[in-house]
Amino acid sequence: MIIFPPAFIEHEQMKPPQAFRAMYDWGFASPSGEGKGTLAVLVDQSNGKTVIELHALSERLVLLEGDSDSGYRIQIPRNKIDERAASLGSLPIPFLPELKDADGLAKLLTEGTGPGVKASRKDANGPRQLRWDGKDERGESCTVWLKRTRFEAMAVAEK
């Protein structure tokens, strides 16, 4: 029988932070309408850097950018939203389950974990397809589908 010290076990279970870029085709349906487009995401867990761009019909619907040190900014021109916050969880991010931070976004996209999220067709980079059943900004039920079309691992930024 081999006994490992707790520090060794803890070290083995911790995943190193990762940084990646990914592109998704997305679609949604709710009682108030439906739509589809593309979602571009950049996440660097080492410093919380996050960039999300949501496009539909050649129009940028959402731009979210920032990091854990300087905070985050979301712009939703259609709804005249331009807000800043210290954390991702404080911002009104449409079409995604509630995210606390860049780690939550990374887990959603690379592990398929999150409230109301179902993942399918996984590969070495995580789920290729995600489905989220939740509520939109009006409190109405909505379903969002993501299908990954591109994934690129990046070097983690030095602090």
Residue 56, in any domain of the structure: yes
pLDDT digits (tens, 9 = 90+) for 22-76: 999 999 898 888 889 999 999 998 888 999 999 998 899 999 999 989 999 999 9
The pTM for the full model equals 0.81
pLDDT score for 9: 45
The 3-class SS string of the chain reads CCCCCHHHHHHHHCCCCCEEEEEEEEEEEECCEEEEEEEEEEEECCCCEEEEEEEECCEEEEEEEEECCCEEEEEEHHHCEEEEECCHHHCCCCCCCCCCCHHHHHHHHHHCCCCCEEEEEEECCEEEEEEEEEECCCCCEEEEEEEEEEEEEECCCCC
Residue 5, in any domain of the structure: no
Residue 46, in any domain of the structure: yes
Residue 44, in any domain of the structure: yes
CATH number of the domain that residue 139 is part of: 2.50.20.10
Residue 1, in any domain of the structure: no
Q: Domain tally for the chain?
A: 1
Residue 6, in any domain of the structure: no
- The residue range of the domain holding 125 is 16-154
pLDDT digits (tens, 9 = 90+) for 66-123: 998 999 999 999 889 999 999 888 887 776 777 788 888 899 899 998 888 999 889 9
Residue 9, in any domain of the structure: no
Residue 142, in any domain of the structure: yes
